Structure 1
Amino acid sequence: MALFTGTFENKVDQKGRVSLPADYRDLLSDNGNRSFYIFPSPNADCLEACDETFMQRVADSIEEQAAMFSEEEQGLSYIISNARRVSYDSTGRFVLPAEFADYAGISNLAVFVGMAARFQIWQPDAHKASLPDRRNQARGLTLKLKRPGADQ
């Protein structure tokens, strides 16, 4: 699974095209199909994006783990039903779906934010405004890493 890190800002042209950061493009290109999934975030005024492996994990969770008609199933189904597969060219350019750009308020600039197995796409001012909350949530955080092969 890809590991998306870092924060990058790229221009969006008048046709809604924007380039993936080179680091993200390299990670996504490993699957050879030059595409990824994008959907409106259920938790913030931004977009979420992921590779096919992550999206398959979401789908598998619906089928295997979520109790039918539970809040968890509804939340995971929201992701699946709103996700779109987006293709990009050899330079990493893709068209940001207009309704997604409207949802996130993205017009001429987009901020890409690595979130480990997925990444977010923000309108720059909205991302900047979210930083104090994120910093406060991280304060006092104790990092507990699982050992490889450990169940819990």
Structure 2
Amino acid sequence: MSVANRFLSNATNRIDAKGRVSVPSVFRSVLARTATEELYVYQDFVFPAISVAGPEVLDRFERMIGLQDPFSPEANKMSLLIHGGGVFMKLDGEGRLMMTDFIRDFTGITDRVTFAGRGDHFQLWEPSAFETMQQQARKERMRGTPPPA
């Protein structure tokens, strides 16, 4: 992955009266450079956030499932998460994303949304939940908590 094709930083934007929010220009630039038009939008597996990526991320998840016995509990749970907890969306012509019930119900987002870069994808957070989680992660790192293996 090229350095220029990573989602980095964070920004908080207001949701308009029609339920749309402008995706930060730095994130739209990455989508344009990677020619990503259709977005795979899924409920994060760890955080109360919605993850947004190109369809290649869904392909990667499906390859992981394909390596398992299709009838195994693990494969079925993963399918439940990636298929049952995901949708495809597109930005409108002005680079806005619709804040649907799928997004709002999972995150608690109301009138503002924080966009957080995560390398190969970005996330949508309720702003105070993002701030709390980022502060918690920073405190744990400063205390010397070892990274997960």
Question: Would you identify which runs of 4 or more consecutive aligned residues in structure 1 move more than 4 Å?
Answer: none
Counterparts of 1:12-91 in structure 2 under 5 Å? 12-32=15-35, 34-64=37-67, 66-68=68-70, 69-71=72-74, 74-91=77-94
Match of 1:120 among 119, 123, 147: 123
User: Contact 1:28–1:36 at 8 Å: present in 2 too?
Assistant: no
For 1:37-69, what per-residue CA distance to the aligned partner results, in whole angstroms no more than 9, with x for missing partners?
1122221211111111222111111113x3442
One-letter amino acid of the counterpart of residue 92, structure 2: D
1:73 CA displacement: 5.1
Count the aligned residue pairs. 142
The normalised TM-score by structure 2 is 0.81
Identify unmatched segments of 5+ residues in structure 2.
none
Identify unmatched segments of 5+ residues in structure 1.
144-152
The match for 1:105 is 108
User: Contact 1:111–1:121 at 8 Å: present in 2 too?
Assistant: yes
The 3 A distance-change label for structure 1 pair 127 and 98 is same
SS at match of 2:119: coil
The normalised TM-score by structure 1 is 0.80
Partner Cα separation in structure 2 for residue 107 and residue 32 of structure 1:
30
User: Contact 1:67–1:73 at 8 Å: present in 2 too?
Assistant: no
Q: Supply the RMSD in Å over aligned alpha carbons.
A: 2.3
